[in-house]
Every structure is written in C-alpha cells, then in structure tokens.
Amino acid sequence: MQDLTKRNPAKLIMMFTIPLVIGYLVQQLYNISDTLVVGQTLGVKSLAAVGATGSIQFLVMGFVQGFSSGMSIITAQRFGAHDMNGVRQSYATSIIAGIIMSVILTALSLAFINPLLRLMQTPADIFVEARVFIAIILAGTIATMGYNIISNAMRAVGDSKAPLYYLIVGMIFNITVELILILKFGWGVEGAAFATVMAQFVSIAASHWHISRYTDTLHLTWADFKLPKGELRQHMLAGVPMGFQQSIIAIGSVTLAAAVNTLGTDAVAANTAASKVDQIIIMVVMSFGVTMATYTAQNFGAGQYGRILQGVKVALAMGMIVGTILGILEIAFGRDLVTLFVGQGQHEVMDLAQLYFWANGPLYAILATLFVLRYTLQGLGDVKTPTLAGVGEMVVRSVAAFSLVVWFGFFGASLANPLAWIGSLIFLVPAWLKVVRQLKQKIATEQVAPEAIPELD
C-alpha cells in the first residue's frame, strides 16, 4: 500500500506509473500473443478474423474496465480519508456489483454477436472464425470483470506492483496454454480465446492470495458484504457512467473497424497488426492518466487540493514527452514490428500499416493530454464531463472514418483516431480550467473540506 497524499508528487507519480506501464505492456502481450501465434500458425485470414473482433471486445471489455475503475475511485477517496472500514466496504460492494453486471453483459453480448459482426461488415471469408473467437471471449466476461475489480482495488490503496506480478503470472500461463492448444491440439482461434480467459482466472486467484497474505486493508469478512443502504447504488452511479464512457468510445472504434472492413482483408490485417503496435504506445501514455485517477482521488479525499494541481502539471509533462518519443520510434520501426504478426512477404499489409503509423505517430502528445485530464476529472468524482468527451470522441471518429475513407482510403481511416482525440479535448480542457479555478479558490480561502468542492458541471 502507498499513501499518495504525502511526499514529492513527481517522484510518487513516476514510481506509481512505472509498474502500471509494465503491467499494460504485459496486458498487451496477452493480445499480441493471440495475434502473433494466430498470424504465424493459422495464417492471415485467421489473423484478420481475430482482428475483426477487436472493436467488439473493446465495446464490452471497455465497459468492464470503466465500470470497475469508476467504483475504485470511491475506494481510493476513502483510503485518502483514512476510512479503512469504508475501503473494505467499497471493495466488497464492487465485487457484488461486478457479479451482477457480468451476468447482464454476458447475456446481452452473446445474444448480439452475429448482428454486431454484420454491422461491422465483417468479410464473409473470416466471419465464422471471428464469431467463434469472440463468443468464447465474451463468455468469459466475468473473468475480465473479476481481474479488473481486484487489480483496481489494489491500485486504489496505492499498490501498483502486485497487479503487475500476478498479471505476469497470467501472461506466462496464457502463452503456454495457447501454444499447446493451437500447435498440439489444433484448436485454431478457439484455442487462443480459451487460453486468454483461463489466464485471467489464474490472475484473479493469484491476486486474491496476495490480498489474503499481505493487504489487510482489503482483507474481507462476511460482515463487509452486509451493505448499508445506498452503498450499492453509490457504486453503480460511479461505475456505470464510466463504463458507458468507455463503451461510447468503443462504438466509434466499431464504426472505424466497419470502415476498414470495406477495404478488404489486407486492410483488416494491416489495421489489426498496426493497432497492436499502436496499443502498446497508447497503454504507456494512458498509464500516466490511470496514475492520476488514484493520485487525485486520494488527495481529494484528504483535502490536499494543491497537490492535485502539482500532480497534473507533472503528469502532463511526463506523458507528452514519453508520447512524442514513442511516436517517433513507431514511425521509424513500426513496419518491422508488423512482420512479427503477418510474416515476411506481406508487402501490401506492411505498406498499409506504415500509413497508419504516419497518421498516429506524431500526435501522441495530444493523447497524453486527453488521458491525464480525463482521469483527473474522474478522480475528482466528475463522471459527466468524461462521458461527454467520450461522446465527442465517438462522433468525430465515426464521421471521420466513413468520410475520409472515401477520399483517402486506408490512410483516411487511420486519421480518424487523432481527430477523435481532439474532439474529446474540446470538452475536457474547459472543464479542467474550471476545476483549476475552483481548487485555487479553495486553497486561497483555506476551505479544505473535500465536500466543499462544488459539483462539476
């Protein structure tokens, strides 16, 4: 556990972010292992089939991640206020809410697989494989929910290292089982999907063992599950809007994928492979934002408003510098990385992927700004502005994808992402400037009670 309300903000943010970065890189290895093994052993069509489901995964799993993250904000605020009974109660409530939401999401998502794949104009030659893969992933939604709840709870109390350790355990299990199922038993894309779901259950078990041994603050008893009136509602109100925010963003990605699907299998494969490289950078940059959610929530709970302003400045500087450097590296070496997924000789796929890198690589500093501001506002308890920003991102991405693909082909579709980031900032920047004025006023008048900050609107 780590108290983020004391000591130097820059050092705290960096030390909290580093395990997150490593953890997100490991998380991408989950996805990359699917893509790498499938692409190299089953061929480009199977690779395209897995890639064609990426936006559906983002739609459902994005909701799961946002939902669990939103509830953990309450946990972090109570930890910052040193309300340890409240921390345990929040964690228990998150588990109950997670089970309820997992059942709902699994039922709905499995019922609409075929319509979603058709809506995305999935090519006929990869439709069956895509359906098999995504059905298994969606059936394991409760595993994704469970891992996100337990890892977010650990981060809420300042521990960003333990989730990394047990994610690595899951990754090793995932890669090992995936290779066995595909190469030895010939399971095809379903082997990759089963391995991913099973690995998440392994990470849950390992994380629970860690909490029972080393994290008393999150060590639950049956009494913690006896929720006071309004507790479940409070967590749902925090989690559902953030879940919808992620899903709204994902809808834009579904639209983008549909636009790419109209360009043929090579374009789908290029988008799949390039997106895997792109996601690594996005996750690194996003880590600074995720850190700010916990950092802000703890300091908000403790009434340390000046530290919030300091933290945002530090996180923005770090994120923008790192994003710019990684963007340059992506443009320079991204084409070589694509060969890991499609093999040598797929020159058309590699050329298209390089267009993707030119469209996205120069603009990751904008994305860093988006993440830091969005997660900081969420840490303050503002769910409205990030949701509106998500809507803006969805609209811009969708309109840009289908309009630009007509004029510029694959390169036009690739431009939809950076344009969507700008669309999101149109909402986030004014909201953050308003919060800055509020916090400075509170500091100046020495009104330090956390509940005194006005509701953000």
Task: Tell me how far apart the alpha carbons of residues 67 and 246 are, in angstroms, rounded to a whole number.
Answer: 9
Which DSSP helix (H) or strand (E) runs through 390? Answer: helix 384-408
- Contact between 76 and 297 under an 8 Å Cβ cutoff? The reply is yes
314: in domain: yes
Q: Collect the ranges in the chain with pLDDT lower than 50.
A: 448-457
One DSSP character per residue, 250-298 reads HHHHHHHHHHHHTT-HHHHHHHHHHHHHHHHHHHHHHHHHHHHHHHHHH
Residue 266 corresponds to which tokens in the numbers above? Answer: 């090579």
- Contact between 312 and 372 under an 8 Å Cβ cutoff? The reply is yes
Q: How far apart are the first and last CA of the chain?
A: 33
Instruction: Return phi, psi of residue 394, to 5°.
Output: -65, -45
CB atoms within 10 A of CB 199: 26
CA nearest to 134, candidates 310, 316, 257: 257
Rama region for 114: left / alpha / beta (φ>0; ψ in -120 to 50; rest)? alpha
CA 220 to chain centre: 27
457: in domain: no
Burial 52-72 (b: 16+ CB within 10 A, else e): bbbbbbbbbbbbbbbbbbbbb
Task: Tell me how far apart the alpha carbons of residues 93 and 240 are, in angstroms, rounded to a whole number.
Answer: 14
Burial of 446 (0-12, 13-18, 19+ CB in 10 A): exposed
248: in domain: yes
**Secondary structure, 3-state, 138-188:** HHCHHHHHHHHHHHHHHHHCCCCCHHHHHHHHHHHHHHHHHHHHHHHCCCC
194: in domain: yes
- Which residues have C-beta within 8 Å of that of residue 170, sequence separation ≥ 6? 30, 147, 199, 200, 202, 203, 206
Task: Tell me how far apart the alpha carbons of residues 192 and 204 are, in angstroms, rounded to a whole number.
Answer: 19
SS3 227: coil
128: in domain: yes
CA nearest to 253, candidates 278, 287, 285: 278
Task: Tell me how far apart the alpha carbons of residues 305 and 41 are, in angstroms, rounded to a whole number.
Answer: 54
66: in domain: yes
Burial of 18 (0-12, 13-18, 19+ CB in 10 A): middle
- Contact between 382 and 431 under an 8 Å Cβ cutoff? The reply is yes
Task: Tell me how far apart the alpha carbons of residues 202 and 173 are, in angstroms, rounded to a whole number.
Answer: 8
Cα separations (Å) of 362 from 276, 278, 328?
A: 17, 12, 7
* Total count of domains within the chain: 1
Q: Which structural domain, as residue segments, surrounds residue 82?
A: 9-452
CA nearest to 334, candidates 354, 360, 364: 354
Task: Tell me how far apart the alpha carbons of residues 33 and 39 are, in angstroms, rounded to a whole number.
Answer: 10
**pTM, rounded to two decimals:** 0.82
Task: Tell me how far apart the alpha carbons of residues 145 and 175 are, in angstroms, rounded to a whole number.
Answer: 21
Cα separations (Å) of 110 from 117, 137, 138, 238, 399?
A: 12, 10, 7, 26, 28
